[in-house]
A = this chain, B = another copy of it.
Amino acid sequence: LSIVLGPNQYGKAEVHVVRVTRNNGFHAIRDLNVSIALSGDMAAVHLTGDNAAVLPTDTQKNTVFAFAKKHGIASPEEFGLLLARHFVDSQDHIGHARVAIEEASWDRIAAESTHSFVRNGRETRTALVHHGADGTSVVSGLSDLVVLNSADSEFHGFRTDEYTTLKETHDRVLATAVNAQWRHSRDTDWDRSYGEVRRLLLEAFADTYSLSLQQTLYAMGGRVLEKHDDICEVRLSLPNKHHFEVDLEPFGLTNDNEVFYAADKPYGLIEGSVRRDDAPDDERAWG
């Protein structure tokens, strides 16, 4: 019997840091939830509890706060890179760092507000950084951007079997919560890039006359790649937020795609990647 230690990592998760910067009385804030995972030569602590190679997760938390002060937070991607490099560079035993960040965005309450903000709950911006001797990767993303088309969506011509009861439709509501990640092949202006990708995803969703959610998915990913040559792959996970047309006939009413029951579960889930054919493989970048 030979039992061995397999892949492992450890770190501090969900360090919620808010950074305020002041410029002549004009404030700005960044609001990040940072999760760090370090890996390397960690056999001893697993096998015997020898912590000599273990930088405490508490220290990792402190580092987030100290770096927010020393370096500021230019963007989640930048901040993730700073942290990942720091741990790998400063710790012999650490060969690789993964930093995952969620950002909540805030708007000024009024255009002229200098220090008053309201959280903009539209979606969560994400960044996932990997860094080690084996290279560096940056994946940007967003989650829970909920969108709906009340026209230009059909679903028919599908395959059937003995368990198929679904009727074909030539006019349905198409709604989803966009969860998207995109991998960069080089550094960019991260904030600007994020805003543009977000806009492209929304535009492609709105523009695409959809015969299936898969077609919309491909159109969304493709649109981003067409416009951003620094992005080599887009992965999308799109729950089909079913809006069922309610049968109103029993009540002597017609329902011409006007009244829907919005169901939470179960839901279709469409997942796919759109990529350049020459994009180098880097499965680790996504996980």
Contacts and interface: CB of A to CB of B under 8 A. Distances in A.
Given A56-B158, A225-B3, A264-B264, A49 B163 contact: no
Interface residues of A, number: 139
**Chain A interface mostly:** mixed
A180 interface: no
A56 B4 contact: no
Contacts of A57: 240, 266, 268-269
Contact of A20 (B21, B68, B173): B173
A18 B218 contact: no
A46 interface: yes
A217 interface: yes
Contact of A11 (B121, B253, B254, B269): B269
Contacts of A16: 261-266
A13 interface: yes
B2 A276 contact: yes
Contacts of A91: 159, 161
A20 to B, nearest CB: 5
A17 B57 CA distance: 22
Given A5-B274, A65-B259, A259-B19, A210 B49 contact: yes
B17 A52 contact: no
B266 A160 contact: no
A192 interface: no
Interface of A: 1-22, 27, 29, 31, 35, 37, 42, 45-59, 61-63, 65-66, 68-70, 90-91, 93, 106, 109-110, 113-123, 144-152, 155-166, 173, 202-203, 205-206, 210-212, 214-215, 217-218, 221-222, 225-226, 233, 235, 239-240, 243, 246, 248, 250-251, 253-255, 257-278
Given A51-B155, A59-B166, A66-B253, 6 more contacts: A18-B262, A50-B157, A65-B261, A69-B253, A70-B253, A113-B206
| Nearest 9 CB-CB pairings of A with B | A49-B211, A6-B273, A121-B121, A8-B272, A116-B206, A119-B146, A49-B215, A57-B268, A115-B151
